[in-house]
Amino acid sequence: MIKMRVNNRSQNTMGERTYKYDMFCAGAWANGFGGMDVSLQIDKLMLYPNGYLNMNQDGEYTKHYYADALRIASKIGSGKSGLDLCNEATAIENAYPGYLTDRINIQYEEMKEELWELVPGSEYIVDITPIPYLDFCNIGNGGQETGLFFYHPDHLGSTGMVTDNNANITQGFLYAPFGELLYEYSPGWQSGVIPKYSFNAKELDEENGMYYYSARYYAPPTFISRDPLFEKYPSISPYAYCANNPMKYVDPTGEDVDIAELYKRDKKGKLINSEQVKAFEAYMNTKTGRAEVAKYAKAGQTIAGHTFKSDGEYHKSGVDIAFKGDKGLDRYMNGSTDGNIVNGRLKIDIAIYRTNDIGSVVEAFAHEMLIHGRQFIKDFKDDKKLNFSHAYKGLCDWLENRGLKTTRFVHHYQESESDKVMKTTGIQILREYYKNAGIQKSESDLKSMIEFER
């Protein structure tokens, strides 16, 4: 009899962790025959709805507070007060019938695929029936958030100490230059409740002793997988951390800002996002689209066959961009753009849904870059924060009074009422694309393509 513990994690299209779980399974072999009794029990579960909250299987949650991109405090709570998950789910289901069922089915297939890769013999899995955990609609009234803790980082963002609201030290770390732990004070503190954020403020997975860097895992002093852009830096090992200078540099995600995720391939070497890649290269072959991408590029960077000679204006002002496929993007959206401040720089992540109509995918790239990308930049430039400071105050007040003050609504209303960049730059990109493709499109056809719901 062989007993096995397996842990797994999943991330969304922006490279952010969405959950992790620790499984227990057992199997028996005799003279080479037998295998896994693939009945897997999840011992520990941690959910990451967003960067501000995590919750375990017992309904215990932790709220995180930031100063720009730096985590400064965490508050522990339990129960459903302030976490009205069921009513929120009902509201989503009423607004988008069938959406949650679609997401459950997608997650079901993804978990089976993950288990096939993780557990020997699990290719014979035919079904997943979760053992019921606590009903998140009935986890008590809660609302007790007495556990408040503060992080004390160094110049690299690494946690040196964690203290409570009475200034008592609850956890502490001493590191070697590359992040190896030399000493840890109270290693079991809040285990399973608060993720262990330590070197570079990254989560240290207690199950494997490695740091989670979104794109890659880091096992000091090296990453365990190679840099997706290793060919750009032939003089540096693709597994090296921060060009072997950890006292000066940090690596926010484990990869450079680029199109690595967009051009990702499966085990057979086939492009996973072939439609999006084809559309992106068509976008880059338009003069206007290429000029927009050039604003984000670094000097010497080659993107889709085009090399940029100088740093773009957005790159110089502290903005980076990443293009990705549609994993985690629901079928109701043509694209999605997210903006986050990481170590003082604005990182824009754009995900695009796949379709055989390349022209509509080119339009989606234009929409996400010109409307959402540019407005994130305008918002960031004035005060290095994302707080809708770029939008008209009257518009924000009007949306807030109607419960619509979200990134999507602010950006769309700002575009339709003021910026109107899709009616100038966006439509020009489409003109150039269809001309290059030899496809006749009238101006009315192009205008209908760039219309969007607020």
Strands 345-352 and 319-324: parallel
Cβ count near 330 (within 10 Å): 14
Token couple for 360: 């509509």
- Residues ≥6 apart with Cβ < 8 Å to 183: 172, 173, 174
- pLDDT for the residue 1: 34
pLDDT at 56: 82
Q: Give the tens place of pLDDT for each residue, 420-433.
A: 899 999 999 999 99
How would DSSP label each residue in 114-129? HHHHHSTTGGG-----
- φ, ψ for residue 322 (rounded to 5)? -135, 135
pLDDT for position 67 = 75
For the chain, the domains span 1-58+84-134, 146-256, 274-449
**The pLDDT of residue 332:** 55
Tens digit of pLDDT for each residue in 121-173? 555 556 666 555 555 555 555 556 768 899 998 877 789 999 998 899 999 99
Residue pLDDT tens, the chain, 454 long:
333 444 555 555 445 677 787 766 655 555 555 554 545 666 678 888 777 888 887 778 888 887 756 788 888 877 655 555 667 677 777 877 887 778 777 777 777 776 666 665 555 556 666 555 555 555 555 556 768 899 998 877 789 999 998 899 999 999 998 989 999 998 888 887 888 888 888 888 877 889 888 768 889 998 888 876 666 567 778 888 877 777 766 665 554 445 777 888 777 778 888 899 999 999 999 999 999 999 998 877 778 877 788 888 998 888 999 898 876 555 556 788 999 887 788 889 999 988 888 999 999 999 999 999 999 999 998 888 888 888 877 777 877 787 767 787 788 888 887 778 999 999 999 999 999 999 999 999 999 988 755 4
Residue 85: what pLDDT?
62
DSSP, residue by residue, 50-82:
ETTEEEETTSEEEEEEEETTEEEEEEEEESSTT
Cα 238 to Cα 145, 203, 234, 297: the distances in Å are 44, 22, 8, 21
Handedness of CA 242, 245, 249, 250 (dihedral sign): positive
Count the neighbouring beta carbons within 10 Å of the beta carbon of residue 97: 9
Q: Is 412 helix (H, G, I), strand (E, B) or coil?
A: helix
pTM for the predicted model, two decimal places: 0.50
CA-based nearest residue to 136, from 31, 2, 45, 9 = 45
Q: What pLDDT is recorded for position 138?
A: 57
| Residue type present at position 250 | V
Q: What is the pLDDT of residue 14?
A: 44
Q: How far apart are CA 369 and CA 376, in angstroms?
A: 10
Q: How far apart are CA 291 and CA 397, in angstroms?
A: 35
